[in-house]
Structure 1
Amino acid sequence: MVQFDLFGEVQRKLDERARQRKTAAAKPQPSPAPAARRRRRAFPPDPYQHASKLAENVITAWFSNYGGGRMDIPLGTVAALSFFREPLIADWLLTLQPPDFVPLLKEIWGVQWWFRPDLIETARPLIDWIHEEPDEYQLKAVRAVAHTAVNTGLFDITAQDDPYVRSSADILSPLLTGLRHKSDKKWRGEYHTPPCVTDLMARILVHADHGPSIREPAVGSGGMLRSAAQALREQNLNPHDYAWFGNDIDHLATACAAVNAIIWDLGPKTVIWRGDSLATDDAGLTDALKERAAIIRHRNAVVEQARFEHKARHMLSALDRLIEGAAA
C-alpha cells in the first residue's frame, strides 16, 4: 500500500512557494509576452478534439470495467489527476494497484482543500465516493480510468505550469456530458456551449475596459469562464485582478466548474456555487459568499491548530532530549 503524507506535502508546497517568491523578487521582472507569442505556446494541435478523445476513451474504460450510473467516480478520478503539475508522474501512476488509488485521491483532494477550501467544498460531489469504501470492482475501474486518462494524454494539457496552456480546453465538460444518459441530459436541458462559440463571445465581450467582475448564471463546467480568462491573458491582463462568479442548478456541473477554476487559475476571487438563476434574483450569491467566508475561517482555524500541534510536538521533543541529557 502506498503511504502519503498530507501535511508534509503541504509544507513542501509552502516552502517551495516561499523560495519562488524570493527568487522572483531578486530578479528583474520581464515584460508580459505579446499575445501573438502566447498563442504559439505548445499544446495539442487541437485541444478541444484532444479533450473529446480523452473523454471518449475514459467513458469506454469506465463502462467496460464497471458501468452503472456512478458518474461521480470517473469524473472525480480524472478531476483529481488534473491537479498534478509534473508530467513525469505518469510513469509512477501507471504502476499503482487498485487499492492504492483511495489514499492517493484522498491526499490530492486534501492538499487542494488546504489551499482552496471554498472551491473544494463545492467539488464535494466528485469526492464523497472515496469515503464510501469502494469495492474491488469499482477500484479496478478507477485504475482503468486513471490509466486511460494518462495514456490518452491528460497531462499534455493539465500538467503544464502555464495556466494559459492548462486553459486551452475544458477536459471535464465532454466527460460530464458523455457520461450522462441521453434522456437524462434532455430532461435537464444540459447542453454545454461549444468552446468555439464561447471563445468567440469572449473575444468580443472581454477587453481592458471590462468591469471588475465576470458572472455566468448558467456556468455548467465553466466553459465561458475559461474563454474569458483566455481572452484576458491574450490581452496581457491577469484573471486574478477580476472577481469570478458562476452558478448552475446541477451539482456535478458546479463541482466540475470549481475544479476547473483551480486548473485554469482564475484567482482568489472566484466563487462557484449551486444555485437556480430562475428561482431568486441573485441565485443564492449572498448565501454563497457567506458560506465561502465560513469555510475559509474553518480552514484557517485548522491550519492554526496544525501549526500549534507541530510546535508543541517540537517543544516536547526538545524537552525530552533536555531531560535525558540531564539524567545522563
Structure 2
Amino acid sequence: MVQYDLFGEVEQKLTERAEQREAEAAKPKPRPATHAARRRRRGFVSDPHRLAGEVAENVIAAWFSHHGGGRMDIPLGTIAALSFFREPLITDWLLTLEPAQLPQLLREVWGVQWMVRPDLIEVARPLHDWIEEDPTEHELRAVQAVIHTAIYTGLFDLTAQDDPYNRSTTDVLSPLLTALRHKSDKKWRGEYHTPPCVSDLMARILVDTDHGPTIREPALGSGGMLRSVAQQLRERGLNPHDYTWIGNDIDRLSTACAAVNAILWHLGPKTVIWCGDSLATYDAGLTQALAERTAVIEHRNNVVEQARFEHKARHMLQALDRLTSGVAA
C-alpha cells in the first residue's frame, strides 16, 4: 500500500506557484500605451470643427479652474505655440515639463518660427509678448494645465500633421478666441467669426469662378476664410503658394491668430497680414504692412548673417589657439 504525503504535495505545489509568480514578476512587463499612441489609434478625425470646439471649451475650463486670471493672450498664445509642433510623440515629453520650464520652451518655439517667418511672427506678437513679462507661478501652473488639457482633448490630432491639407481642416484658434471674449466685448467689437460651413461654401463659389492670383480678406478675423479658400485650391490640385494672400482686421489678437494660422495652414511666402481698419486706411495700411514686412525680413537676414560671422570667428579663434598651443609645446 502506497501512502501519499498530501501535505507534502500541497506544500510543493504552493512552492512551485510562488516560484512561478516570482519568475513572472522578474520578466519585463510591456509598458502601457502612451497617451500619444492611444490618440494615434483613433485615426481620422471625423468632425474637426467639433473637436476644435471641445479643445477650446476644455482649455478655458482648465485655465480658469487653475486661477490663470483674466488675460486672454496667455492661454491663446500657449495653444498657438503648440500648433507649431508636427511630431505627435512629443506629447509624452511635454507632459513631463514643470511650470518653471515652460517659459524657456515657449521662447524657443516662437524663436524658431521667427527665424523662418519673421514677418508673421511679428504680427503674432500679442500672443507671445507675455512670455517676457515674468509670468507668475499661478499663471505658469495654469499654462501647464492648458497644455495638458489640449493634449488630452486631442489638439495634436488636428495640428500635428505633416500634410498641410490635413492640418487645415479647421481653425483651432477661432473657437478659443471667441469663447474667451466676453459677450458684451464681442458685441462692441462686432466680432462674429464666420462659421466654417459658410466660409467653405463661399470658398467653393469663389474658387469655381475667376478668383485671380490674389486672395484678399478685409475683415480677416483669425483667417477662417483664407483656410477655406486654401483647402478648395488644394482639392483642385492647385498650390496656395502660387497665390498672394492679403488680410487685415481691426483687432490685434485676431490678426495675431491669423498670422499663426497662415503658418499652420502653409499659405506660402506671399502672405501679408496686418492690423488695421479697412474702412479708414486700407491702401495706406497695406503699404505700411508691406514696408514693415520687408524691414523685418531684412532684420532677420542681418541677424542670421551676424550669427554666421560669429560662428566662423569662433572656429578661427579655436584653430588659432590650437596652432599656437602646438607651437608653444
Residue 320, structure 1, aligned to residue 321, structure 2: yes
CA contact (8 A) 2:250 2:276 kept: yes
Q: Provide the rounded CA distance (Å) in 2 between the counterparts of 1:289 and 1:183.
A: 34
Q: Is the 8 A contact 1:164 1:264 kept in 2?
A: yes
Q: Name the structure 2 match of 1:87.
A: 88
| Cα distance in structure 2, aligned partners of 1:174 and 1:317 | 53
Counterpart of 2:259 in structure 1 is 258
**1:260: how far off?**
0.2
Normalised by the length of structure 1, the TM-score is 0.86
What is residue 47 of structure 1 aligned with on the other side? 48
Partner residue, 1:286: 287
Deviation at residue 69 of structure 1 after TM alignment: 2.1
Q: Are the equivalent residues in 2 in contact too, given 1:276–1:283 (CA < 8 A)?
A: no
Match of 2:273, SS state, is strand
Tell which structure's C-alpha radius of gyration is larger.
2
CA distance in 1 between partners of 2:105 and 2:253 (Å): 22
State the number of aligned residues. Answer: 287
Does the 8 A contact of 1:277 with 1:283 survive in 2?
Answer: no
For 2:232, the equivalent position in structure 1 comes to 231
CA distance in 2, matches of 1:314, 1:237: 46
The answer to whether the Cα contact below 8 Å between 1:72 and 1:129 also exists between their aligned partners in 2 is yes
CA offsets, 1:34-85, max 9 Å, x none? xxxxxxxx64100000100000000000111124320000000000011001
State the one-letter code of the partner of 1:280.
T
Distance 2:52 2:181 in 1: 16
* Greater mean alpha carbon deviation, residues 243-252 or residues 317-326: 317-326
Distance between the aligned counterparts of 2:249 and 2:214, measured in 1?
A: 18
Question: Which 4+ residue blocks in structure 1 deviate beyond 6 angstroms?
Answer: none
DSSP-derived class of the 1:280 partner: helix
* Structure 2 residue aligned with 1:186: 187
The unaligned stretches of length 5 or more in structure 1 are 1-41
1:213–1:242: 8 Å Cα contact kept in structure 2? yes
Q: What is the identity percentage for the equivalent residue pairs of Structure 1 and Structure 2?
A: 76
Q: Which residue matches 2:109? A: 108
Contact 1:207-1:232 within 8 A present in 2 as well: no
Q: TM-score, normalised by structure 2?
A: 0.86
- Corresponding letter in the other structure for 1:214: I
**1:248 aligned residue:** 249
CA offsets per residue over residues 215-257 of structure 1, 9 Å max, x none? 0000000000000000000000000000000100000000000
1:310 corresponds to: 311
Query: 1:94-116: per-residue Cα shift (whole Å, max 9, x none)?
Result: 00000110000000000000000
CA-to-aligned-CA distance 1:261-296 (integer Å, 9 cap, x gap): 000000000011001011124260011000100010
Superposed, 1:211-230 pairs within 5 Å as 211-230=212-231
Aligned Cα root-mean-square deviation (Å):
1.1
**8 Å contact from structure 1 (residues 247, 283) kept in 2:** no
